[in-house]
């Protein structure tokens, strides 16, 4: 039986308990690329996958900041496990934004029963570098057929449902929810990144996969009206990076506490943590991490304020202002999380000796995880979004829309 979490406090408590369990084998799973099958099953059974289902559908409807805290706890224990449910929560939010009442009722039940959404969003590339878009075309019995090749499909290997983004015959984005075992759908475990090694972010192949019409939502609507969908997705990315920074900081502190400077004739060995330079440098890294965590929580609160304000107004300009507020807050949090993750996971090694680099410790996994995940959505684009808003009054672009908007 899958547990149903009812409060924000319970969600964080469950996440912390799971994180302690997941941390125990994280270094070995990364070193040997052991996929976290049992861990993801435990995540499903814990009820955490259902915490964003609204209360009127039987879920906890947790605050966005609470979801950030949950992801952060999981990522601190194991960066790969922290990333795997990212797309699950993103598509639960996509349903909230664009699903019909019948679709909400069906899929919310699935989520509360522990069913996990995977991901098939990013199209593969042709030899010339262009995208080969997955296509949705009419099929039998009023349904549709999808064909295409998707890459970076994090979570698909572990999922019960794989949401697939495809273009319809009017070049509009649609999202089709396809069962993991659907005929014509194949998940290939070919992810070979230097970091986030056990996310199984491989390839999804679709060959004339049939999808009923009631399993498709209109993703293109996200570009047609103000929403917090984009900001919500960024929050999960920022939470992953903040968690990686926190996990690295904790492992670094544990290592440094046990590290003694080597002495030589006439010089007494000393603990490295008594070195004021080490304390200062470590403090700087801790400040970066605490700032990332604070911005993450603050931005989550802005997302919730904006969501409520957008739902409660008929004024398009006011709704757009709230959308922008959430987008800028999340861009700032994303940029800070990127900085914290990359600097903490790298710079703490300067405070230790060569033994910190031993393969048996596998402490470099934190840096590899941070460097790999932060390349998904480069910091420079987030800093540009923040700067362009504060300097020029230009709001960040919406999903699948490269056009910036005057704010």
On average, the pLDDT of the chain sits at 93
Does residue 199 surpass a pLDDT of 80?
yes
Condensed to tens digits (0 to 9), the pLDDT of residues 58-104 reads 999 999 999 999 999 999 999 999 999 999 999 999 999 999 999 99
Q: What is the mean pLDDT of residues 9-29?
A: 98
Does residue 136 surpass a pLDDT of 60?
yes
* Closest C-alpha to 346, from 382, 338, 383: 338
CA gap 64, 5 in Å, rounded: 15
The pLDDT value recorded for residue 402 is 39
CA gap 70, 73 in Å, rounded: 5
Domains along the sequence of the chain with CATH: 8-112 (1.10.540.10), 122-218 (2.40.110.10), 225-406 (1.20.140.10)
Q: pLDDT: is 169 or 16 the higher one?
A: 16
Give the Å distances, CA to CA, from 270 to 259, 260, 273: 9, 6, 9
Q: Which two tokens stand for residue 227?
A: 């929403």
Condensed to tens digits (0 to 9), the pLDDT of residues 251-268 reads 999 999 988 766 555 555
Let me know: does 327 contact 90? Beta carbons within 8 Å. no
The pLDDT value recorded for residue 262 is 60
Condensed to tens digits (0 to 9), the pLDDT of residues 229-247 reads 999 999 999 999 999 999 9
The pLDDT value recorded for residue 331 is 96
Let me know: does 384 contact 395? Beta carbons within 8 Å. no
Does residue 404 surpass a pLDDT of 80?
no
Q: What is the pTM of this model?
A: 0.94
Please count the CA atoms within 13 angstroms of the CA of 364 that sit on its side-chain side.
10
Let me know: does 159 contact 43? Beta carbons within 8 Å. no
Share of the chain above pLDDT 70, in %: 95
The pLDDT value recorded for residue 330 is 96
């Amino acid at each position: 039986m899958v547990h149903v979490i009812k409060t924000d406090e319970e969600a964080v408590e469950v996440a912390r308990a799971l994180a302690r369990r997941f941390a125990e084998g994280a270094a070995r799973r990364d070193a040997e690329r052991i996929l976290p099958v049992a861990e993801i099953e435990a995540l499903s059974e814990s009820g955490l996958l259902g915490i964003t289902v609204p209360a009127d559908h039987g879920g906890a409807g947790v605050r966005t900041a609470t979801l950030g805290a949950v992801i952060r706890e999981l990522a601190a224990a194991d960066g790969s496990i922290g990333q795997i449910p990212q797309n699950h929560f993103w598509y639960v939010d996509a349903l909230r934004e664009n699903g019909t009442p019948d679709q909400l009722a069906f899929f919310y039940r699935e989520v509360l029963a522990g069913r996990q959404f995977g991901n098939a969003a990013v199209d593969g590339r042709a030899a010339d570098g262009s995208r080969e878009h997955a296509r949705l075309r009419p099929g039998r019995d009023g349904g549709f057929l999808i064909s295409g090749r998707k890459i970076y499909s994090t979570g698909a290997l572990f999922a019960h449902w794989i949401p697939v983004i495809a273009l319809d015959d009017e070049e509009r984005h649609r999202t089709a929810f396809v069962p993991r075992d659907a005929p014509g759908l194949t998940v290939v475990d070919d992810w070979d990144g230097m970091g986030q090694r056990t996310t199984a972010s491989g390839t999804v192949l679709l060959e004339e996969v049939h999808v009923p019409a009631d399993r498709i939502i209109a993703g293109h609507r996200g570009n047609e009206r103000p929403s917090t969908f984009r900001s919500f997705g960024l929050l999960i990315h920022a939470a992953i990076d903040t968690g990686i920074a926190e996990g690295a900081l904790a492992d670094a502190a544990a290592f440094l506490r046990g590290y003694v400077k080597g002495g030589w004739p006439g010089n007494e060995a000393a603990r490295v943590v008594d070195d004021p330079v080490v304390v200062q440098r470590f403090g700087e890294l801790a400040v970066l991490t605490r700032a990332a965590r604070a911005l993450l929580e603050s931005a989550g609160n802005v997302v919730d304020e904006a969501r409520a304000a957008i739902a409660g107004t008929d004024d398009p300009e006011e709704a757009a202002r709230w959308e922008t507020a959430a987008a800028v807050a999340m861009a700032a949090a994303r940029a800070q999380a990127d900085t914290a993750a990359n600097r903490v996971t790298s710079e703490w090694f300067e405070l230790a000796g060569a033994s910190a680099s031993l393969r048996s410790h596998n402490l470099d996994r934190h840096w590899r995880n941070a460097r790999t995940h932060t390349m998904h959505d480069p910091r420079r684009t987030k800093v540009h979004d923040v700067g362009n808003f504060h300097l020029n009054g230009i709001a960040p672009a919406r999903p699948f829309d490269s056009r910036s908007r005057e704010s």
